[in-house]
Homo-oligomer: A and B are copies of this chain.
Amino acid sequence: MATVDRRGPYICGIDAAMDVVTGKWKSLILWELHSHGTRRFGELRRGLPGVSEKMLIQHLREMEQDGLVHREVYREVPPKVEYSLTEHGVSLNAALEALGDWGAERIRRIGADTVHIDASQDTAIAGSHSGNRVSPSRR
């Protein structure tokens, strides 16, 4: 049905937005799609080091259901699927910018390590201060 069932009654707008954004990789997918316009599954996977295929697909499917990303399948000999942002995805990204800025300032404030992925190719640079080392997991 049009109305997605798993998204429950919301308390407020933030609640509704968070529901769509929460997921370990969703904001990153949003960003990746935003900066590249259109990406294939494999490109996305390589662009988000550490993501498992299962999670990538799961998030992508949810985001498609939520109307954030568009999925274009090309029935070719080697399968080809292209993902891109819908207008809602684009506007969500815009709404996230303020939050991103806040977070960036927070990173500066607390001097946390930053892991920069992406850029265009595989630039695994890191950090602002001293060491980086992509230590496993947080939280």
**Chain A residues proximal to chain B, CB less than 8 Å:** 2-22, 27-28, 31, 67, 88, 91-92, 94-107, 109-117, 126-132, 134-135, 137-139
Instruction: Collect the chain B residues with CB atoms within 8 Å of residue A20's CB.
Output: 103, 106
Of the candidates B18, B109, B115, which one forms a contact with A21 in the assembled complex, judged by CB atoms under 8 Å apart?
Answer: B18
Q: Which of chain B's residues have a CB closer than 8 A to the CB of A137? A: 8-9
In whole angstroms, what is the CA distance A2 to B114 when docked? Answer: 17
- The distance from the CB of A91 to the nearest CB of chain B, in whole angstroms, is 6
Query: Would you give the shortest CB distance from A17 to chain B, in whole angstroms?
Result: 3
- A28 to B11 alpha-carbon distance, docked (Å): 8
B131–A12 CB distance below 8 A: yes
